[in-house]
Amino acid sequence: MLNYPTITAVETFIVDLPTIRPHKLSMATMMHQTMVVIKIRSSDGVVGWGESTTIGGMSYGPESPESIQLTIDRYIAPLIIGKEAANINSVMKTINKNVQGNTFAKAGIETALLDAQGKRLGVSVAELLGGSVNEKLPVLWTLASGDTDKDIEEAQHLTTINRHNTFKLKIGSNEPKKDVAHVVAIKKALGSDIRITVDINQAWSESTARTWITELQENGIDLIEQPIVKTNFDGLARLTDFFHVPIMADEAVATTGDAMKLCKIRGGSVFAVKIMKSGGLYNAGNIAAMADASDVSLYGGTMLEGTIGSVAAAHVFSTFPNLEWGTELFGPMLLTDDIVVNPIIYKDCALEVPKGPGLGIEIDEDKLNHFKRK
């Protein structure tokens, strides 16, 4: 009789890593990034690592780092200890049956299980998912100082050294007229060859969006992300139909159910896929498949994860046959330090997807212990 490895322990650590500068969103300003790092041990000695990360405490969604850790420690870990470590589908079915929502926590668990299984078989997570279509993924950078001249200077420097050629601007915390003037000035300074994405983070009403997206469109902005509240699916469809500049659903397309509804009504011409909000890599792939079948373009999103979460996302994004709008997996570049031995390689406006077994990264446990909350 075969002896299948079982899950023997699940550990979680809240890690606070400082950022290189304040990162402004419409709902919060981040001074550091907090992530929940997950370590899963199995009876065959294999260890898998995962990460669950949100932004702005609880200003983005219903899960916080503290609630993620509690959910995993008290509810998920007891469910899965003793389960077959290699049967990821069965483990996740058990979790989904007994734990509602909590997609960020689930994504971290699934990542750790995939990392372990890749190590067990000697293949990468991307290979477990069918293999990479692209081994290098375009990565944009967010200009988030809030100062127009500083943002222009930063963008010009990054394009000169060939680190990024696409930039995102987070707006919505100021009056629309001020925000739009800021965006337009940066677009004019950088020129038509540089892509500019504007993320409004749900800050506008539908009528406000109609007024100000018109000006953004007329001034050559390339992509408009989640301009209105995520629950207004019909409004997103109306804006998509009204404008020729692409409208991207982000917070609105959290789950596979959301994706199905939005595909039916054409609520967005682009979907931002994120492993955290979808509940893991498999669900991210399911959303991508629905989008592809509905002629909706894809964008690889981020919750500003550290290296573990960013690499996990990179592995699944690399399997997408069509990733027209690239990715924003720059989270590790925003941090002043890391908890891995082998950081992601960023070069020529892209990241290289690690090829080693599992996630292809090694955790520096001394650094982990240094930065974890005591």
- Per the structure block, which two tokens stand in for 202? 């749900």
DSSP string spanning 287-334? HHHHHHHTT-EEEE--S---HHHHHHHHHHHTT-S--TT-B---GGGG
* Helices 206-218/233-242 angle, 10° precision: 30
| 277 is an active site residue | no
**Cα-flanking dihedrals φ and ψ of residue 126, to 5°?**
-60, -40
CB 224 within 8 A of CB 253: no
List 170, 187, 274, 277, catalytic entry: 170
Phi-psi group of 266: left, alpha or beta (phi > 0 → left; psi -120 to 50 → alpha; rest → beta): left
Strand stretches in the chain, DSSP E: 7-24, 29-42, 47-53, 136-138, 141-143, 166-170, 195-199, 223-225, 247-249, 270-273, 297-300, 345-347, 350-352
Bridge pairing between strands 350-352 and 141-143: unpaired
CB 200 within 8 A of CB 173: no
CB 251 within 8 A of CB 226: yes
Q: Residue 374 contacts by C-beta under 8 Å, 6 or more apart in sequence?
A: none
Beginning with the edge strand found earlier in the chain, give each strand of the sheet holding 223-225 in spatial order.
Answer: 141-143, 166-170, 195-199, 223-225, 247-249, 270-273, 297-300
Owner of token pair 């925000």: 179
Q: CA angle at residue 220 from 217 to 224, to 5 degrees? A: 55
Closest CA to 362 of 339, 331, 340, 332: 340
Rounded to whole angstroms, the Cα distance separating 76 from 95 reads: 6
Cite the active site residues: 170
